[in-house]
Chain A
């Protein structure tokens, strides 16, 4: 399956991926509205790791054998049959954070705006290319087959 890979040598830590991820998962999908009117604000579903000049964006690796799916009590964490992406059904999620405990990459985030749910990268199912990849100004993120 196609996954997002990072070329950390060209990641300049601008965090535009984070910003556009947030916008893509907002209600309006409009950048100014998402930031200025939609509260509580949705979370970006990726994290940018930074230390000195080294930085890179990290999202769910959509593991073949995903510990989060195994650990999930309610079956909220599952695999999208079509895309192969690991996704979280937020209606079924009870916010027990077991997935967060077992994730080896630390890329599942806590969304506590309303009901506690786990939130993570969904590979932007409505887009051809995930927005973080499409909006990276330096092409440090690529979306390709393994």
Chain B
């Protein structure tokens, strides 16, 4: 075999004084880093195979393992940094498109970290959420332009018909992750957690497994370009239907679930033959204009008797605000915006790292545009793609979102260590894999509890932040950019975000 020019990415350090040769690491690594040498009676490690997922180090009963970055240094070169050289090595060895899992890891500005929240002092009292009720309940869907109220026998009655709404008790939804990209056990955990916390999970484009129909009331089903698993029961089982136009991690790119992952159960759920590649085209072949989109939206509304909100999800791109305006006019009840740091099971690395715009800018632009056009009430906005913690959620809502989608954060909660090797199907944490040996590593009961804990913790923190601002309902913060200040941002960025710089008062 020809030699590879690629140096390992990680080094496995085994503390021989602590290692008891129990072989837990050997059994846990699907990448076959560790092996037991019968003659020597010792476990050895092959650095070149390590992906840095920490599965072995986490399960090692004596903490004998430490994984560090491989210390090999290239000569410093600002023009040709290590990653650039390694990518060229890799492509010259494989001749293929570079693939990555999860969201972009590039060092682009994170605007959340340049936004500061306000708090009340003296003139407007803050609220203690431990003593006073705080409301995070949010209704997602089309709101009427005005309310007509009639009085009958001296009692007021609402005359306006309200469009179908999604009611969430915490403004955080689990974003689209398909059965196929993630394992059944993770899908089940997301559904169970969504039910417990009165929020929603999203099937992604992989269809809804028949055992998960019972969670339909807490499930958003997706209709994507591949139309996998779409049939009347699927649409009617869900609380809402999302038309997926694009994904933040790979705007303009379709999806590809390799045939090896299409097991019998996935083939039944996706309604495709077993073992065949599941290819999602880049565009919907029946949508080439806003009018076409409108046709699909109304086809889905017809199919579900106008009882469910229809969502349209797009990737955050340069022209998002104009597209969003078209989407609302086409009949979308909820707009989902996915920023360029959003995750994925597999994306071409160059697309993932170079296409799209940050969610913060897209969200601000879309909210401003819809308000300027007087149609903001006609659709709710869900922002996703780079929401990492509760303060990001609060800032997103102040920037104009009604709720947020979390995907990566949810996977981290169930064990993901962000090694970005989802596309290999060898996820050692049992998340992004269909290998029956690896899938068992997620116990859905534990995973559900961890997801519920995460949402509970974030909602407590959100309440604290709201209380500090003297607000007792999250509705009062939505689009209230006066409660935000920008720090370390250029004038253009402040203008785009419509946020005042820190230090400037009202």
Interface of A toward B, CB cutoff 8 Å: 7, 9-16, 19-20, 31-32, 35-36, 52-53, 137-140
Within 8 A of A (CB), among B15-71: 17-18, 20-24, 27-28, 59, 61-62
A130 vs B219: C-alpha distance when bound (angstroms): 39
- A–B complex contacts, Cβ < 8 Å, 15 sampled: A9-B440, A12-B28, A13-B437, A15-B22, A15-B23, A32-B20, A35-B20, A35-B21, A52-B437, A53-B436, A53-B440, A138-B446, A139-B443, A139-B446, A140-B443
Q: Is B256 an interface residue (CB 8 A)?
A: no
- Measured between beta carbons, the chain A residues less than 8 angstroms from B23 are 15
Contact B440 A11 (CB under 8 A): yes
A31-B61, A53-B437 provided; 20 other pairs, C-beta below 8 A?
Answer: A9-B440, A10-B440, A10-B443, A14-B27, A14-B59, A15-B22, A15-B23, A15-B27, A16-B24, A16-B59, A19-B24, A19-B61, A31-B62, A32-B20, A35-B22, A52-B437, A53-B435, A138-B443, A138-B446, A139-B445
Known A-B contacts A32-B18, A32-B62, A53-B436; the reply to A138 vs B24 at CB < 8 A is: no
**B227 beta carbon closer than 8 Å to chain A:** no
B441 on interface, CB distance cutoff 8 Å = yes
Whether A14 pairs with B20 at a CB distance below 8 angstroms is no
Main secondary structure of the interface of A (DSSP, over half): loop
Within 8 Å CB of B436, what residues of A? 52-53
* Chain A neighbourhood of B17, CB < 8 A: 32
Q: How far is the CA of A53 from the CA of B436 in the complex (A)?
A: 6
Residues of B contacting A140 in the complex (Cβ-Cβ under 8 angstroms): 443
Q: Which of B440-458 contact A (CB under 8 A)?
A: 440-441, 443, 445-446
How far in angstroms is the closest Cβ of chain A from B487? 42
Q: Which residues of B contact A7 (CB under 8 A)?
A: 443
B283 CB → nearest A CB, Å: 39
CA of A16 to CA of B445, assembled, Å: 20
B440 and A15 form a contact (CB under 8 A): no
Q: What is the bound-complex CA distance between A52 and B436, given in angstroms?
A: 9
Q: How far apart are the CA atoms of A140 and B440 in the complex, in Å? A: 10
Query: How many angstroms from the CA of A11 to the CA of B21 in the assembled complex?
Result: 21
Residues of B close to A16: CB separation below 8 A = 24, 59, 61
How far in angstroms is the closest Cβ of chain A from B393? 30
Residues of chain A within 8 A (CB-CB) of B22 are 15, 19, 35
